[in-house]
Amino acid sequence: MKYALWITGFLACLAVVFPEFVVLGYFFLIVPGVILTIAPTVFVYLAGTAAVRRVLPIASPLKATAVSFCLVLALGWIVMQPFRSSALKTYAKECQPDIVADLPIELRGHVRIEATDSRKAPDCDYLCLSVLDSARVESVTIVTAGRRSRPQQQQSAAYTLESAEANPTPGLFPSEPGQIVREFRPLTQTFGGSKLLTSIKAVEADWAVRLADRSRLRKIDPVAADAADWVIRIDRRSSDSHSTIRRVTICDSAGQVRFRKSYIERRVPAAMFFVGFKANFGGGTLSGASFSVGRQRWHAGERSLHLQSELLSAIRFRVPECDPRSITRLRGLAVQALNDPEASEVQLDLARRYLGLFYFDATEQDHELIAEIVSDPRVRNIDDQLMNVFSKKKTPTAMRNAYAERITMDHTSAELRRWLAESMAGLPVDTFAIPTAAHYRIWNSPELYRDAGAFLCRTADLGATQALPVLRAALDAAITIPTWSERRPLIEGIREAFVQLGPSAFSEASRVSELFLLRPSPLMNNARQADQWRFALARMGVDVSDLPFFPNQSTSAAQRISQKVAQKLRRYEQDLVAKSE
């Protein structure tokens, strides 16, 4: 008994203190992992047996051990019963029978969708839109709140579809209406696989055309729960690490439940005490492992229950057709609006909606129309749509003029200007050798290149004669910007221009070295950026032995940095030769 206690105690301590070893044990022939998993439980029962045996008035060691072990087992069962009984009562209260209607429910009047466990701000998504598009529904109120929010902190928003004849002004556009293809099971089965993306775009294109033609989506005052004709509740909560509830319920105005589907899971304390092991994996790696009192998993309902899909299956609504011809129609209307000088705001918004259909999948045939949309100042607020058309590293040269035009527009946001500048900075060398008026305007306007600093590097396409005056003025403007976060894009664009210009920018080397040695230097914020400027100076024609270093840097450190700069310079010039060949 003594040796068993020592061995199991050591293994239990090792497993509890270093639970990762248990996981490793399962990778090594499984047996070590199993031993470490059961070690804490075995130690607890052996320690309890030893303690009880010392007080039993039984002379025979074998009988005393047997009786003590049985008493400890009984004690392990008794201790768990109150906790188990309480958990099972809670589980029984949470379980409610499913109610399924024989026919799809036809919603009407004012509908309220309560997703009080959702942390999202209420908006009109595919679910709201599907309910709203039902024949007799007048409005849909969306209610959301954080899991721990108080009732008065709940957020709500209400929407309605109205005829454009009564009010033709621009309305709202729903949030990702095409996602219904992913969420509604019949559509997923019909348009899955290679058809999925096209079907999603078709639904969004159809809604774009519809909301620009005969209907408008409007925001109205929310409808209270007691005034709603139908209340839909979507519950998705975990009250603690041991309980999960997913439930969708549809109630009529009288409070009668007309539809309910649930999945309940609760990990209740086990009937017999043991020490359980739990390992959490995330992203393909171990994210956590621990020991706790053993539990058993009780559940009711289908574990694969998807609340939104079940809700859509339970109601009657207009199922979208997913017709690819809707995309073609939207494209035609967008072209028509762009070519019409008198096009209304609603018509021009179709161009923005068409741009929003792309997700890094635009073909060469699309480039001309995309460039036309981007360069038209009447099409506004395209930030989200445009950033999903091309990645910054795969921007086609066909966008060189359109992106510049968009940067110069007064209504373009600083964030979009920065993104456009970074995209143009990555275009092939000499793309801007023959610049347009928009390019010149960006390079010569501090109010523009302060947001589009990355594009300054393309002044190198002009040659030193035209580029250096621009870069000199930009550098003077950059060092007056007080914060590094605002100054950084501009400084990096200037530095990259000097690198591309090479020895032809040698006349600016003394100015750069002077700013480099200032404390604090306006050109950098850390040692890595200092090395980047040393490389830029070497490219500009400064000898590696003459590169600037700070007084507190040792000779050995300066030599090591100089060697790295020389190696980087050699590789860079070799790459230039290879590209020219």
Please write down the HEC assignment for all residues of 58-113.
CCCHHHHHHHHHHHHHHHHHHHHHHHHHHHHHHHHHHCCCCECCCCCECCEEEEEE
For residues 350-370, average pLDDT:
95
For residues 250-278, average pLDDT:
92
Q: Above 70 in pLDDT, residue 52? A: yes
| β-bridge partners, 228 | none
Look at residues 183, 137, 181 and name the one whose alpha carbon lies nearest to residue 316.
137
Q: Could you give the dihedral angle defined by the CA atoms of residues 88, 92, 95 and 101, in that order, rounded to the nearest 10 degrees? A: 150
CA–CA gap between residue 467 and residue 501 (Å, rounded): 9
Q: Could you give the dihedral angle defined by the CA atoms of residues 464, 466, 467 and 470, in that order, rounded to the nearest 10 degrees? A: 140
At residue 281 the predicted structure's pLDDT band, cuts being 50, 70 and 90, is low
Query: What is the per-residue pLDDT for 282?
Result: 58
Please give the model's pTM, rounded to 2 decimal places. 0.82
Query: What is the per-residue pLDDT for 536?
Result: 97
Q: What are the backbone angles phi and psi of residue 567, rounded to the nearest 5°? A: -65, -40
Which helix or strand (DSSP H or E) is residue 244 part of?
strand 243-252
Query: What is the per-residue pLDDT for 51?
Result: 86
Residues 6+ apart with CB under 8 A from 457: 425, 493, 494, 496, 497, 500
More confident residue, 176 or 15: 176
Query: What is the per-residue pLDDT for 77?
Result: 93
At residue 417 the predicted structure's pLDDT band, cuts being 50, 70 and 90, is very high
Query: What is the per-residue pLDDT for 5?
Result: 82
Which tokens hold the place of 554? Answer: 């040792």
For residues 294-319, average pLDDT:
92
Among 101-105, 191-195, 538-542, the range of highest mean pLDDT = 538-542
Look at residues 9, 20, 504 and name the one whose alpha carbon lies nearest to residue 285.
20
117 to each of 231, 236, 322, 362, how far by Cα in Å?
16, 6, 31, 37
Report pLDDT digits (tens) over 199-231: 999 999 999 999 999 899 999 999 999 999 999
| β-bridge partners, 293 | 275
CA 392 vs. chain centroid, Å, equals 18
Q: Above 80 in pLDDT, residue 2? A: no
